[in-house]
Amino acid sequence: MPTALKPILRLSDVSKEYAVGDRRIPVLRNIHLTLHAGAMVAIVGASGSGKSTLLNILGCLDRPSSGTYTVADRDISALDSDRLAELRRAYFGFVFQRYHLLPMLPALKNVEMPAIYARTPSSERRARALELLNRLGLAGRAEHRPHQLSGGEQQRVSVARALVNGGKVILADEPTGALDKTSGREMMEVLLELQAQGHTVIVVTHDREVAAHAERIIELSDGRIVADRPNPRNPGCLPVATPAAGAGRAGPEAPRAGVLESVVEAFNMVRLEMASHRLRNALTMLGIVIGIASVVAIMAVGEGAQRHMQETIGSLTSRLVEIHRGSGWGDSRASAIRTMLPGDLEALREQRYVAGATPLTRASLTVRYRSAHATALVSGVGEGFFKVRNVAVAVGRAFGVDDIRQQSPVAVIDQQARRKLFAATEDPIGKVIIVGNIPCTVIGVTGPASPESFREQELNVLIPYTTAGVRLFGQQHFESITVRLAEHEDGSLAEKSITSVLSYKHGAKDFFINNKDALANAYDESRRSIALTLSLIGSIALLVGGIGVMNIMLVSVTERTREIGIRMAVGARRRDILKQFLTQSLVLCLIGGVFGLLLALASGYLYTAFVKEARMVFTAGAVTAGVLCSTVVGVLFGFLPARQASMLSPNEALSRD
């Protein structure tokens, strides 16, 4: 027995029924059928008799409802959808009545497609496709798109596609049904030639003339085989097997293309799809562009506002920590607390995080110079005051350590006091003024008040705390100590440390710390709420963009159901389909993301140019977030439609319009 007559496909007791509503309609009933390799078989019967259903089951596009089907002794009921796809790739080539070519691909790419899923390296794939097109008389048509080809030519392209992976078994469903007589006859010649080369050819037809070429005719009626006979007009036409050169060339043992190539392939498909649906993809991308642009722009506006706040409020909320007596503002016993002493000042100065410290004791006293007199706020301070409070001395000098140590009778006055006490032309330096009851020599005049220095509305006179202490205020202890923290020191840690240092010295916590806290907290809080609001708005923008992508992807899946069916028929696995759609949405979102970023940067440029009070600050974080967002949106919103596409059964997808 020639090798060509080995049974290759075997159906035993196969039935198929379709559920329509709650009724189950039997389409195939108890089919027993054995088909041999190298045979040419025609399946005939009236319309609706189940021919296509039978062919789909033979080609593993559909599964039987009951019974067993074996392909080369492998029971297909044991195979999952990916294995079935592999089997389709390795054994079968489909030729459909309506060609089922992908309209956006040129003939050559249509022929190559099954080989892409078989992971054939691209050069080999291309060469094989070209050779097949040549053999089928389509040498000059490789770059034509299907709509630029005649029906007969399209059908020959689909034959080439069926052969590119080997096509041991060619399944043709009414291959001549849509063709004129001449093209139909040519098609039959092609099929006969394939059989002569060793391919198994199974043709579904209701055309007697086509069936006449077969060596075996199987007749279906109402889902049953009613006749199965050798063709009387074509007796003994069994070919002596010369296994096809092409048959079995592909398959698991064929060389595999690398991962890189499969990625390139996925991108190529996406590129083609994008090129063929420009408007739709552009609109989707617009959604993403706006989404990403608003997220990034909003983050930049927020950042700009924060920096602005930091610059204006930041100077107030600087590094100052004030330590006051008592448990808080308005503590009636505070004035009786006498524990804040020069020793505290020394202890605080030794702390690593302290850049400077000064005590402060204040009283409103009368200040006189000759006949002029005024009420001034007299402050006893240390030599550190000027640095801690950021007070500049415009004329003369500030206190030195010696002034403090020697209780020097010297004073530094502010500009208000100078105006009140001295004539505009008089140089105050070296003049003696009476502060309370002590004569003090004026050694300096401060510059304009800064937010950190002292109240502008009052006349301020500064004298060393040692001079002021007992003689002026009648007390050794201070009302408060102000500490300037070193740069980059953590304010709250420093506060904790100050609290413990002083509590230990005082034996109780009889003081409270008023740093910029209240202000800083308000500032932090408003910063947080601004950030929260902005990110909320941004997320909404992104969500809207993402839903846009999902919508388009869903439309795309629905519109391309038949394409998915075709791809599956020629051997695409579920994950190939999933990958294709995910890649598409990812690419859409990434491109959209890049444009979104550019748009945001452009708007930032305009904003900064026209709005003087605030600006947009783009941080690396915002840009990264933009890119990340578009990626996540792409994967997240692309996944659902992609999965839906990949879950379709090939037969179902093919029959949809």
Residues in the site for Mg ion, rule: CB under 5 A?
52
Name the binder of 260 from Mg ion, ligand ADP, none, CB < 5-8 A by kind: none
3-state secondary structure of 377: strand
Answer yes or no whether residue 155 interacts with ligand ADP by CB under 6 A.
no
Toward ligand ADP, which CB reaches closer, 96 or 465?
Answer: 96
Measuring CA to CA, which residue among 643, 626, 640, 617 is closest to residue 306? Answer: 617
Q: What is the spatial distance between Cα 275 and Cα 281, in angstroms, rounded to a whole number?
A: 9
Q: Tell how far CA 237 is from the center of its chain.
A: 63
The residue among 67 and 251 lying less far from ligand ADP, judged by its C-beta, is: 67
Which CA distances in Å does 438 have to 365, 407, 433, 456?
11, 12, 8, 24
Q: Residue 48 binds which one of Mg ion, ligand ADP, none, with CB within 5 to 8 A depending on kind?
A: ligand ADP
Instruction: Pick the binder of ligand ADP from 4, 9, 11, 27 (CB under 6 A).
Output: 27
In this structure, what DSSP letter does residue 105 have? S
Binding window for ligand ADP (CB under 6 A); candidates: 48-56, 155-163, 443-451, 487-495: 48-56
Residue nearest to Mg ion (CB): 52
Q: Of 52 and 416, which has the nearer Cβ to Mg ion?
A: 52
Among 36, 51, 109, 277, binds ligand ADP (CB under 6 A): 51
99/117 with CB nearer Mg ion:
99
> In whole angstroms, how close is the CB of 24 to Mg ion at the nearest point?
20
β-pair partners for 104: none
Nearest approach, Cβ of residue 89 and Mg ion (Å):
23
Q: Which residue number, 206 or 505, has a Cβ lying nearer to ligand ADP?
A: 206
Q: Residue 20, interface with ligand ADP (CB under 6 A)?
A: yes
Q: How many residues does the chain have?
A: 657
The residue with tokens 């790739």 is 89
Among residues 8, 36, 53, 453, which is the contact residue for ligand ADP, using CB under 6 A? 53
Instruction: Please select the residue that binds ligand ADP; options are 31, 40, 50, 201, rule is CB under 6 A.
Output: 50
Judged by beta carbon, residue 222 or residue 261, the one nearer ligand ADP is 222
In a 3-state reduction of DSSP, which class is residue 31?
strand
Q: What is the nearest approach in angstroms of ligand ADP to the Cβ of residue 184? A: 18
User: Least distance in Å: CB of 46 to ligand ADP?
Assistant: 7
How many residues bind ligand ADP (CB under 6 A)? The answer is: 12
Residue 50's binding partner, choosing from Mg ion, ligand ADP, none, with beta-carbon cut-off 5 to 8 A by kind?
ligand ADP
Q: Which residue lies nearer to ligand ADP by CB, 51 or 156?
A: 51
Could you tell me which stretch among 44-52, 121-129, 347-355, 371-379 binds ligand ADP (CB under 6 A)? 44-52
Least Å distance between CB 624 and ligand ADP? 49
d(CA 285, CA 596): 9
* Per-residue DSSP letter, 241: P
Least distance in angstroms from the C-beta of 167 to ligand ADP: 22
Classify the C-alpha dihedral 380-386-390-392 as positive or negative.
positive
For ligand ADP, which stretch binds (CB under 6 A), given 49-57, 74-82, 164-172, 636-644? 49-57
Q: What is the 3-state secondary structure (H, E, C) of 463-532?
A: EEHHHHHHHHHCCCCCCEEEEEECCCCCHHHHHHHHHHHHHHHHCCCCEEEEECHHHHHHHHHHHHHHHH
The two tokens of residue 313 are 């409020």
Residue 49 binds: one of Mg ion, ligand ADP, none (C-beta under 5 to 8 A by kind):
ligand ADP
Task: Find the binder of ligand ADP among 3, 7, 48, 619 (CB under 6 A).
Answer: 48
Which of 10, 52, 358, 484 touches ligand ADP by CB under 6 A?
A: 52
Asked if residue 18 binds ligand ADP (CB under 6 A), the reply is: yes
Q: Do the beta carbons of residue 319 and residue 487 sit within 8 Å? A: yes
3-state secondary structure of 379: strand
- Closer residue to ligand ADP (CB): 116 or 653: 653
Candidates 49, 416, 453, 644; binder of ligand ADP (CB under 6 A) is 49
Least distance (Å) from Mg ion to the CB of residue 51? 5
- Nearer to ligand ADP among residue 18 and residue 605 (C-beta): 18
Q: How far apart are CA 235 and CA 570, in angstroms?
A: 33
Sign of torsion over alpha carbons 423, 428, 432, 438: positive
Q: Which long-range contacts (CB under 8 A, 24 or more apart) does 183-192 make?
A: 183/150, 183/151, 183/152, 183/155, 184/210, 186/152, 187/152, 187/155, 187/156, 187/159, 188/213, 190/136, 190/156, 190/159, 191/40, 191/159, 192/40
Q: How far apart are CA 204 and CA 50, in angstroms?
A: 10
Kind plus residue range of the DSSP H or E element containing 19: strand 7-20
Task: Say which entry of ligand ADP, Mg ion, none residue 169 contacts (CB below 5 to 8 A, set by partner kind).
Answer: none
In whole angstroms, the minimum distance from the beta carbon of 25 to ligand ADP comes to: 6
Binding site for ligand ADP (CB under 6 A): 18, 20, 25, 27, 45, 47-53
